Chains A and B, each alone.
Chain A
Amino acid sequence: MSMLQRRHLLQGAASLAALGLAGCATTSVPSKARVLVVGGGYGGATAAKYIRLLSDYKIEVVLVEPSEAFVSCPISNLVLGGARQIQELTVPYAALQSRHGVTVVRDYVASIDADKRVATLASGPTIAYDKLVLSPGIELMWDSVAGLKEANAAGQILQAWKAGPETVALRRQLEAMPDGGVYAITIPEAPYRCPPGPYERASVIASYFKQAKPRSKVLVLDANQDVTSKGPLFKKVWAEQYKGILEYRPQHKAVAVDAKAGTVKFEVQDDVKADVLNVLPSMRAGAIAVKTGLANSNGRWVNVNYLNFESTAAKHIHVLGDAIQVAPLMPKSGHMANSHAKVAAAAIVAELNGWEINTAPMLTNTCYSYVDTGKNVIHVASVHEYVAAEKTFKTVAGSGGVSAAPNELEATYAWNWARTIWSDALA
């Protein structure tokens, strides 16, 4: 494409976007997007906003997302502990449309034709694109635990790993549980979404039990050999604050559940019975990534070129967040998805303008975990640089680290982090 043609297209896109703005919240589905963003989580919402920002609002962006509003997974464990309400973690998509001119379409993408560069929505219409950003999150692999799909559908055994109605429902189960009852969480083998999340959840619920129903127990049944994130910090908290309440058992890989009996079966160890079962099955890239043939790492995760997050399986499809095969020490976290989105957005803007893409992108991650119902927090932080010789991201030598100990100051920063990153992605 010549420079002139490209300029013409960009101007066309800009005037289309202006029309979209003038028309306010349009309900019609555009037939064409310069960039189509699929999924409005930490990765997708950030990508939609930053492609608009970094292109000086010249590149048209359409975001397809089935949910009415964004609900944050980070902080959702506090809803389980009773310290926050789900509404406080919910952010509308309206500002992406009204402030940034992103066309937001509430629908699912049912299929993607990577060769023709066309996506088909569940409701029928198609949207053609120049670039597609796919941020589908994770799919829970129900079949990895026999009986779980049915027990979950019946509302008996919840995951609450995708924040929303299940988070609220699990809180209700915990409230209804009698004092002296047992809550058990099972953790799948890594990699899974949010490495420290299960341990934070166990800690927050133990804290709630300690205050509200002190004869109750928390069982942490982990398929892994050991705590996969912030291990020494969590274990110290458990020993000092939740002794006799929280019990950690490694090498417990859940393979089946019996919702009626309230039991979990494990690959090796004896069955465990609990009043409230919270079973997290294995996870893989969101269904649309698998269906499109992008999950070329063990059939579970999407290999990408880390310079622009383009799938190695399909041109012009850039994949972000939890769905990708991660680089060493790169967590599947909301903060990391937001970081992926900015690198991808800049690369897409450069590519559509015919400019050089950045050969030295950077990523950061800061992940806070509560160790009680909202007062004390620990963190892990890292900075990642692209290493050209190895074509991957690596942590910058000497950077990053964890908290020395749980502290109240970081609880202030954790909540501030959440409010700021929601704003960075959605406001």
Chain B
Amino acid sequence: MTLRAILPAALLALGAGNALAQDASKALHLKALAATCANCHGTGGRAIEGSAVPGLAGMPAAYFSEQMKAFKSGARQATVMHQLAKGYSEAQIEQLAAYFSALPRN
């Protein structure tokens, strides 16, 4: 292969590498956002045995979003969640809904 042929290929590979790094870093940021739920709902959204609060892993995205919005608006009563839900934007709720729905329940 000539140098002329290698250079564009290398540049392309570098670009792809950057895109991969960006994807990886975005995925990491989302995991960290989801980890703000783990203190009460369990690591990775998997509730502890006999938990009084639901696990989030595998929860259908539409249900997750609907409930969070109901907590936010006050339509669904709670002891704590109505206060915490108000701290998350609509966009964050959608991201979290997609994230948890894609995780296996166990």
Contact = CB atoms under 8 A, between A and B. Distances in A.
Contact of B39 (A335, A349, A355): A335
A204 to B, nearest CB: 20
A342 B25 contact: no
Contacts of B39: 335, 338-339, 364, 366, 417, 420-421, 424
B31 interface: yes
A413 B52 contact: yes
Contacts of A247: none
A297 interface: no
Interface residues of A, number: 51
A383 B85 CA distance: 9
A212 interface: no
Interface stretch (B3-11, B42-50, B57-65): B42-50
B94 to A, nearest CB: 15
A328 to B, nearest CB: 15
Interface string B17-55: 100011011001101110110111111100110011100
Contacts of A50: 35
B42 A423 contact: yes
B53 A413 contact: yes
Contacts of A412: 52
A339 B36 contact: yes
A30 B28 CA distance: 28
Contact of A420 (B28, B42, B84): B42
B32 A358 contact: yes
Given A366-B40, A413-B79, A342 B35 contact: yes
A363 interface: yes
B36 A364 contact: yes
Nearest to A377: B79
Contacts of A395: 87
Interface string A376-409: 0001011111000000000110111101000101
B88 to A, nearest CB: 7
Contact of B25 (A350, A379, A420): A350
B80 interface: yes
Contacts of A396: 86-88
A419 interface: yes
Contact of B80 (A353, A356, A363, A379): A379
A421 B21 contact: no
Nearest to A402: B83
Contacts of B25: 350, 353, 355-356
B51 A420 contact: yes
B79 A409 contact: yes
Contacts of B22: 355-356
Interface string A323-356: 0000000000001001100110110011001111
Contact of B51 (A361, A366, A407, A416): A416
Nearest to A417: B40
A362 interface: yes
B85 to A, nearest CB: 8
Given A366-B40, A383-B86, A416-B48, 6 more contacts: A53-B44, A338-B39, A354-B21, A399-B84, A413-B53, A413-B80
13 contacts: A3-B17, A50-B35, A53-B43, A54-B28, A335-B39, A353-B24, A358-B29, A366-B80, A366-B84, A396-B88, A417-B39, A419-B48, A421-B39
Q: 9 nearest interchain CB pairs?
A: A383-B87, A399-B87, A355-B25, A346-B32, A396-B87, A399-B86, A416-B52, A401-B83, A342-B35
